[in-house]
Amino acid sequence: MSDAPILAVADYTLDYRTRLGAVRALDAIELTVGRGEVVGLVGESGSGKTSLAWAIMRALPANAIELRGTIRLGAVDLRAQSGTDMTHIRGRRIGMVFQDPAASLNPTLTLGAQFVEALTTHHGLSQAEAWSEGERMFARVGLADPPALMRRYPHEASGGEKQRVIIATAFACRPELILFDEPTTALDVITARQILDLFLELQRETGVASLYISHDLAVVSQIASRVAVIQRGRIVEQGGVSAVFARPAHAYTRQLLAAVPRADRRLVAEMSGHGKQLAAVRDLTVRYGRPSLIADLLGRTKPMVTGNRAISIEIRWGEILGIVGESGSGKSTLARALTGLARFEGSLLFDGKRIGGATDMTGGYRRDVQIVFQHPDSSLNPRQRIRDILGRPFRLYGVPDGRPIAEAIADLLRLVRLPAEFADRFPHQLSGGEKQRVAIARAFASRPRLVICDEVTSSLDVSVQAAVIELLVDLQRKSGAAYIFISHDINLVRQIAHRIAVMYRGELVETIAPEQLSTHGPTHPYTAALMAAVPTIRAATTHAGGTS
């Protein structure tokens, strides 16, 4: 690497103008990234990570107020560039890979057309030259059948395929700097591992300078050579990854490291005995794509897709059953079947009663079996106040001890460690972690016996995730409810589950106790692949930046 940095941010300070006055977003930021270097920027949601990325890209919102400081790309002062100048710099000299590839791609253009547009705009290639380069780059990033994929639209590609297209486009433009803003957060663990491996390969080949923004310290520790820790707009610590993560100097860094899931840190007590059976599924199968009557009459039927295939498993009273697997493995399909959201074949017994389908799921069953979804933004009505959201279960199933509903709602909020006055707020006035606590409170309002947690922490940063997990464990201990805890993070599940069920392509391939994974290892190769794909801080400190 040359001595002159590719990116140099000095004394940069940024405010946002709000109705309540100016809010400090970034405060005296000092950060450099050299040629061929990967620098990680870590911190919780709201710490200022993405604001810094937008400032570098010169894409700040209208209410941004830049108070002082410089942002330089080599010798170029980015703050001094006009909008037209930045149009030529973005893509050609600075690339960016976003968290959600679906939001980065134009749904009306094919993947190939979007790649071609980038290369013809920034490098003056002809349409034919750019198309040929697209096929080459799509193959380079591991996409199967590049000519066919280039003719597909974004909705016809998986999340992992879309992210590979974004990465291929960014690297094909041969920029000096690429900003990566949580590029694997929306992906399952195995796809994320593949994307990270691909990133490291391309980064080594091209020598591009990379700023990798994430709340996942384990990921950053595996790919970055240096790391900067940002809290409330200020960089509180930075240095070599191994040094910072092994000997953190700042309390905030220590707090983030303590929140990283560790398989050897069990958070629940072991169950005594075998436990009484609460629920059992036998040969449960879910098929999607049932033809409509009209399609059947017209002969336009398509093959049905099997989401679950002959699943047999039991859930015991007071047990936390973890279910792990990558996207498409059938985890959420099983949750939908158990809650009546998907039709199923086979048998379901709950507390000794047979449930043949949604029509057998009486009010009592729906009171006893609750689900908490991955995205609280989708499961909480944005037009209702929290008191209306939490009051509905009480109106449906009654209030314990006949108390007033308002009092029960206040107690419920305190149970999930939220202030009682949050009852008057709307969901958009809460943070992601606070909204998920409201969703958990709603599930527990009916005093359920089985709570299904479907990827409830996957969209949360590491410290908020740890707080939500602690809350769930505490609620389970107090209520005695059984959990089905669905996740793609096997290390997280190993912390809290009494048993782990591993699903792959709709099938249950293994059920194993967490302690067996530590002592004897998995018996199925797919379980081993899941364990190998999850990054850990311990493994990372000897591989920072991809080298030993």
pLDDT tens-digit map of 376-425: 888 899 999 999 999 999 999 999 788 899 999 999 999 999 999 999 99
Q: Count Cα atoms within 13 angstroms, Cβ side, for 436.
A: 23
The more confident residue out of 192 and 15 is 15
The more confident residue out of 294 and 45 is 45
Q: What is the arithmetic mean of pLDDT over 309-328?
A: 92
Q: Is the pLDDT of residue 539 over 60?
A: no
Q: What is the arithmetic mean of pLDDT over 43-62?
A: 92
pLDDT tens-digit map of 256-283: 998 888 877 888 887 765 679 999 999 9
Query: Which tokens hold the place of 261?
Result: 């899931």
Evaluate whether 347 touches 282 at the Cβ level (below 8 Å).
yes
Q: Is the pLDDT of residue 547 over 60?
A: no
pLDDT at res. 302: 66
Q: What is the arithmetic mean of pLDDT over 292-311?
A: 75
Confidence of residue 33 (pLDDT cuts 50, 70, 90): very high
The more confident residue out of 296 and 254 is 254
Q: What is the arithmetic mean of pLDDT over 278-305?
A: 78
| Average pLDDT over all residues of the chain | 89
Cα separation, 318 vs 400, whole angstroms: 21
pLDDT tens-digit map of 462-518: 888 888 999 999 999 999 999 999 998 888 899 999 999 999 989 999 999 998 887
Side-by-side strand order, sheet with 353-355: 305-316, 277-288, 345-350, 353-355
pLDDT tens-digit map of 164-211: 999 999 999 999 999 999 888 777 788 888 889 999 999 998 999 999
What percent of the chain has pLDDT above 90? 64
pLDDT tens-digit map of 203-258: 998 999 999 999 889 889 989 999 999 999 999 999 999 999 999 999 999 999 98
pLDDT at res. 274: 61
Q: Count Cα atoms within 13 angstroms, Cβ side, for 513.
A: 7
pTM score of the predicted model: 0.81
Query: Which structural domains are found in the chain, ordered by start?
Result: 7-259 (3.40.50.300), 277-540 (3.40.50.300)
pLDDT at res. 70: 97
Dihedral sign of CA atoms 355, 361, 363, 369 in order? positive
What distances in angstroms separate CA 450 from CA 98, 395, 479, 508, one per listed residue? Answer: 37, 20, 10, 20
pLDDT tens-digit map of 428-440: 998 888 999 999 9
Evaluate whether 92 touches 123 at the Cβ level (below 8 Å).
yes
Find tokens 């939490």 and name the residue. Answer: 390
The more confident residue out of 381 and 299 is 381
Q: What is the arithmetic mean of pLDDT over 535-546?
A: 52
The more confident residue out of 334 and 534 is 334
pLDDT at res. 375: 85
Q: Which residues contact 429 (CB under 8 A, 6 or more apart)?
A: none
Q: Is the pLDDT of residue 538 over 70?
A: no
Beta strand 64-73 with 38-42 is: unpaired
Please state the φ and ψ torsions of residue 307, each to the nearest 5 degrees: -85, -40
Please state the φ and ψ torsions of residue 129, each to the nearest 5 degrees: -65, -45
Q: What is the arithmetic mean of pLDDT over 4-27?
A: 94
Geometric angle at alpha carbon 18, from 17 and 23, rounded to 5°: 65
Confidence of residue 545 (pLDDT cuts 50, 70, 90): very low
pLDDT at res. 300: 66
pLDDT at res. 295: 63
pLDDT tens-digit map of 87-126: 989 988 999 998 878 788 999 999 999 999 999 998 889 9
Of the candidates 368, 369, 383, 359, the one whose C-alpha atom is nearest the C-alpha of residue 334 is 369
Dihedral sign of CA atoms 202, 207, 212, 216 in order? positive
